[in-house]
Amino acid sequence: MTFQIIDFESCASIKVVGVGGAGGNAINRMVQSGMHGVEFVAVNTDSQDLEVSAADHCLCIGESVTRGLGAGAKPEIGRQSIEEDREKVAEKLADTDLVFITAGMGGGTGTGAAPVVAQIAKEEGALTVGIVTEPFQFEGFPRMRNAQAGIAELQEHVDTLIVIKNQRLLQVCSRDTTLEEAFAKADEVLLQATRGIADLITIPGMINLDFNDVRTVITEGGDAIIGVGAHRGEGRALEAAKKAIKSPLIEEISIDGAKGALINISAGANLTLYEANEAASIIQEAAGSEANIIFGTVIDESMVDELRVTVIATGFHLNKDGKF
């Protein structure tokens, strides 16, 4: 086991691209959370949304098509808009090592444009990770149908794809949860997935990873699942790891059979080597001996007594219905 100090001057170039309204909302939450070491790019057909974006760079696409008024829930308009401004997007993604593409699938801009953004990122030589949401069932069948078609297309252009099924968030919402709070929870999951990977590269910890460590698991990782668990007090590492592999966000499958897994163990400066080993061992056992497990720690001074485990397990395969 090697301990090293990160040279921040040599850190990988990481960008998070939020496509459409939901992608833009996710970026705003990431910025508010204090996530650093990455650049944020908002891509939208709705100029009003971009005016209130917290992103470092805002790109209004397809202005000759939509006049900045949005894609009207039509994926074909989203695609036409991004094709019109491919060069503008390519310019922003040039010389980037890792690109996260986040979007809510089912609407117009996210569904139609996100796959093309992924294609552009790959053409620019970036390792590309898609982290998208699938609609709640109450949003209707047409939106779900659009989402599944968009996810299938996105799948073709990313190294790894994480699909968050909003419907599963109902398991962690009470009956009193408002609609606004429910969508905020979806944004929070997009944040956790993105941060779970990016922080391993950008934030120093007791056990540090570099970009190539992450590349090993992400490259051609296929479909992935995410689990997040947190616990305070005695036995926090064990309990957080157990919660992560039994997270409501994970499908009705175990992570057994994963080809690879990234494990992010985040805690305050009181994190012990024993705790890191305990959490990683629980996940290694669940994933199986053949899985390529890469784990790192992140020291977050704001986490006084809490320990959080984020697991991104790769190498699964979604069928046409979006199921494993």
Q: What is the mean pLDDT of residues 106-115?
A: 97
Same domain, 61 and 167: yes
Phi and psi at residue 147, to the nearest 5°: -60, -45
Same domain, 29 and 112: yes
Q: What is the mean pLDDT of residues 18-28?
A: 96
Task: Note whether residue 160 is domain-resident.
Answer: yes
Note whether 101 and 19 are within 8 A (CB).
Answer: yes
Task: Note whether residue 209 is domain-resident.
Answer: no
- 187: CATH: 3.40.50.1440
Task: Note whether residue 217 is domain-resident.
Answer: no
Same domain, 266 and 310: yes
What is the structure's pLDDT at 19? 98
Q: Is the dihedral of CA 244, 246, 247, 250 positive or negative?
A: positive
Question: 90: how many CB neighbours lie within 10 A of its CB?
Answer: 14
Secondary-structure breakdown of the chain: helix, strand, coil percentages, each rounded to the nearest 5 = 45, 25, 35
What is the domain range of residue 194?
8-201
What is the structure's pLDDT at 318? 56
What is the structure's pLDDT at 258? 87
Question: Three-state DSSP class for 44?
Answer: strand
Q: Which of 62, 139, 24 is nearest to 147 (CA)?
A: 139
CA angle 96, 99, 104 (to 5 degrees): 150
Same domain, 140 and 74: yes
Task: Note whether residue 324 is domain-resident.
Answer: no
Task: Note whether residue 216 is domain-resident.
Answer: no
Phi and psi at residue 128, to the nearest 5°: -125, 125
Q: Over the Cα atoms of the chain, what is R_g?
A: 19
- 297: CATH: 3.30.1330.20
Give the pLDDT band (50/70/90) at residue 323: low
Domain count, the chain: 2
Interval 144-161: pLDDT, tens: 999 999 999 999 999 999
Helix (H) or strand (E) holding 109: helix 109-123
How far apart CA 27 and CA 67 sit, in angstroms, is 23
Same domain, 103 and 196: yes
Task: Note whether residue 130 is domain-resident.
Answer: yes
What is the structure's pLDDT at 317? 64
Question: 33: how many CB neighbours lie within 10 A of its CB?
Answer: 13
Per DSSP bridges, beta strands 222-232 and 160-165 are parallel
Domain end point (choices 142, 171, 201): 201
Same domain, 105 and 22: yes
Same domain, 141 and 246: no
The CA distances from residue 134 to 68, 102, 181, in Å, are 25, 12, 17
Domain end point (choices 144, 166, 201): 201
Interval 178-213: pLDDT, tens: 988 888 888 888 898 999 999 888 887 777 778 888
Highest mean pLDDT of the ranges 206-210, 219-223, 253-257: 219-223
Same domain, 249 and 133: no
Residue 174 region by backbone torsions, left for phi larger than 0, else alpha for psi between -120 and 50, else beta? beta
Task: Note whether residue 136 is domain-resident.
Answer: yes
Same domain, 230 and 175: no
Same domain, 142 and 242: no
Same domain, 176 and 271: no
Task: Note whether residue 246 is domain-resident.
Answer: yes
Q: Which of 38, 17, 27 is nearest to 211 (CA)?
A: 38
Same domain, 252 and 181: no
